[in-house]
Amino acid sequence: MSATSPIPPLLLVGCGRMGSALLSGWEAEGLSASVILDPALAGAAANGSHLSIGQAAGIPQDFRPAIVILAVKPQGADDAMRAVAPVIGDAVVLSIMAGRTLGSMRAILPGASGIVRAMPNTPAAIGRGISVAVAEPQVPSGQRALCDRLLRAAGSVAWVEDEALLDPVTAVSGSGPAYVFLLAELLEAAAVAQGLPPFLARQLSRETVSGAGALLAGSSEDASELRRAVTSPNGTTQAALSVLMADAAWPQALREAVRVGTERSRALAS
């Protein structure tokens, strides 16, 4: 598939924050006329070359998507899959729903030619996300390549063979942006507590977090090496890190956070 060829028609089921972020990336690459199905939509409306509808009954009878993307909440997934099953045809199904396994989706969509499960994260909204994907063994290479292209429109993509890995992936990269936002939130509050004006505390916390992230992204060094480069012996950074790196502080808290996040992902899939 040429990188400059239009993305073939797709059916996007669910157009919330993540679905909308992905759709923006696809449109930037050149998306063929497609259908967006979201229960929150009232009636049907033209959205550029796309058709936005609120009910599966509004899907044109002659519409044949090359791929169906499931971007609904896991709690409403069964109804959504049953509603679109008649129009899937030989399309591949790409799910970005948390906790729904390939097997559970295959049980509801027995006619799909292949199912791919992926976990993107919210930086996809600015094209800086990362998605981890796993495919059923029978997914044809061309359909897998199409899924890869759609996910890469929002950032990086990694593929795994073991579906069980998507549970810790969910806890690390799927939930990870919230951990970073919490860091900025707490750093801002701590700065105010030390007497900095709120406007300056917010600017410092946000630009420090985003700047450090950009430095990390552009460096080939390990995060530990970058940390040591900032830490002068017996300086202020070392004094602060002695608190944060105590085993009962950040090391234990992050291990526990990722553990319970992983367990919750497994529970959603059961």
Backbone angles phi, psi at 55, to 5 degrees: -135, 145
In a domain, 19, yes or no: yes
Per-residue pLDDT of the chain (270 residues; tens, 9 = 90+): 445 789 999 999 998 888 988 998 899 889 999 999 998 887 667 677 899 999 998 999 899 999 999 999 878 889 999 999 999 988 999 999 887 899 999 999 998 999 999 999 999 989 999 999 999 999 999 999 999 999 999 999 999 999 999 999 999 999 999 999 999 999 999 999 999 999 999 999 999 999 999 999 999 999 999 999 999 999 999 999 999 999 999 999 999 999 999 999 888 876
Q: Report pTM.
A: 0.89
pLDDT at 99: 78
Tell me: do 85 and 156 sit in the same domain: yes
Same domain, 51 and 162: yes
Residue 114 belongs to some domain of the structure: yes
Reported as a single tens digit per residue, the pLDDT across 40-59 is 887 667 677 899 999 998 99
State whether 124 and 240 are in the same domain: no
Question: In whole angstroms, what is the distance from residue 97 CA to residue 75 CA?
Answer: 10
Residue numbers of the domain that contains 61:
10-166
Nearest-10 crossing angle of helices 176-193, 198-217: 140
Domain count, the chain: 2
Q: Is 49 contained in some domain?
A: yes
Calpha distance 86→69 (Å, rounded): 15
Query: What is the C-alpha separation between 187 and 209, in angstroms, rounded?
Result: 9
- Report if residue 235 sits inside a domain: yes
Q: Judge contact between 259 and 175, C-beta under 8 A.
A: no
